[in-house]
Chains A and B, each alone.
Chain A
C-alpha cells in the first residue's frame, strides 16, 4: 500500500497541518448531506491556491488514488462520499472574491466562496448572482458549479450553467486550465460542459459568474389551497397565460406543518397546499400580471391569496421556503430529499403518484416543489435506527424516480446524480448516451481519479459503494 508514502508527499507539497489523516479527524468527512452512504477517506487536504490543488492532483494521479473535491458538503446526492479510499480535497480555503465588475457584468470568485457571501458582496450594486439554491447560505460557488445548482428562481433566470462565463479548472493530469470568460465568436463552450460534472471533469478553482441586474420590483404572493390539484392547475394556467413568474413554489400540508413549528409564520395548518408565486420586472407590467395571477388563482380555487406587503414579509416568505427542508428535522429523525423533474404539465400526475407510492411503501412523504419547473422534491421520512424503515424509504424513492423517467423527465433537476442515483443513469440514458459522456470525461480525467464512481454508472470504481451503511 503506497498510502503512507502518499500522505508523506501530500504533507510535503502542502504542509503537515494541512493534511488530516488521523482517523478521529477523518470521520467528519464520511459523507455530505446525503447520509445513507458513509465511507472513510484516506486523507483530507487543504490547498490554498490552484498550484497546490494541482500538486495534490499530480500526487494522486501518480498513485491512481481517487480524489474528491469538496466545498461546504451540503450536497444531497452523496457526490462527496469518499468511496474507494479517496483523498478529500477541501476548497474551503480558496474563498476570496477576486473581482466584481459591473460593466462586464461578471464576478470572479474562488471556488470556496459561499453563494451567500457573493450575494452579500453584491448588495447595493444593483446586480445579483441569480442561482439561489436553498442551500445558498452555506453551499459554495464551486459546489454550485459542480452540481449545476438551481433554486426557486430558475424558472425565469435559469440554472448555474446559464450564469457561468468561465472557469479555471485543474484537470485530472494536474494541469491548470482556463476556459472563458470572454467567449470567442465560434469557440465551443467548454466551461458549460464542466458545469454539472460533479467533479468528474476537473476541480474548479475559480469561476467567472454572470451578474444579473436586480429586478425593479417584486410582487410575492402566497396562495392557499384546499387540495394539491388546484394548486398545480394554477401553475399550468399561469404558464399557459404567457406569464413567466420569477418563481412558483409549492409546499404541501406535511411540510407546512413543519415550517410552522419552526418559524411560526402563520400558515394555516388546515391548508392542503401553499403556492408561493413571485413576479418581478418593471412596475408598469407588474400590475397587469398581478391582476392576471390573482384572477387565475381564484379561478383555480385558491381559498386565500395574500400579497407580501413589504420586503420584510417577502424575506420571511422566502426564508420559510428555503429553510423548509431543514425544518423536516422536526418531523423525523432522518429523511432524504428526492429530486425529480417531470414536464410541468405532468405535475398533478406525479404528485398523485407520490401519494400512492408513500401509501404502498408505508412511509410518510412530504412535498416541496419548484412547481414552475416541474421539479418535485418529495421528502421521505424514516428512522435510521430502523433498517426496515430505511429499506422502505429507499424503495419509495426509487419508484418515484422511475416514474419521473416514465413521464419523460429526469431523475435529478438540481441535486445531481452523486452516488445516490448513479444506478438510475442507465434507466434514463441509453448505453450509447452514457458512452458519449464517459468518453468526454476521459478527456478531462485520463487517469480516472476525479471523483470516480459518481455520476456515471459504468465503472468498476466504487462497485457496491452505493449500498447503504450496514
Chain B
C-alpha cells in the first residue's frame, strides 16, 4: 500500500483529482492490489450510503439556537433534499478512519486493507452501526501502535515521552467523552464523526511519534 496514494483514494473516488493525478493514480492502481481493493471498498460505501434513509433528530434544540443567532424562518427539514444524509456521513467517516487505521494495520502486519475492513458489511444495513463494531479495527491498530511506542520509548528523551503520554491521555479523555455521548445517542451523525476523527488523531499522533523514535536509533 502506497501512503502517497492512500490519502488520495477518497478524492479519486469523489472525482476530485486533477487529470494528471488521476492518470498517475490509475497507473498505480493497475499494479497495486491493496489500493484497488480500497477503492472498491470506498465505492461500495458511497453506493450503499446513498440508499440509506434519513433519520430525524431525536431532540430538537433548534429553537434555542435560532434565538441566539437571530434566525427568522425555520424550515421543516423533512421537506428538504440533502446531498448527504446522516448515515452517509457516518459511513464515509468510518471509511476514512478505517483507511487511515488500515494503512497502519498494513504497515504493522504486512496484509492488505482489502481484507481489513469491517465497515462494508456493516454498511449493508440501513440500521445504525454500533460504535463498538466500526471502531474495533481502529482500536486494534491503536493498540499495536501503542505497543510499538512502548518498545520505542527508550529512544526518546524522558520529557518527550512525558509530553506524548500527556497528549495521548488528552485524546483518550476526548474519545471517552465522545463515546459517552454516543452511548446516549448512538445515531447522532456529529458524535459519530467526532469520535472517528478523534480516533484518527490518536492514530496519527502514535504513527508520527513512532516514526520519530525509529529515526532516533
A complexed with B: no
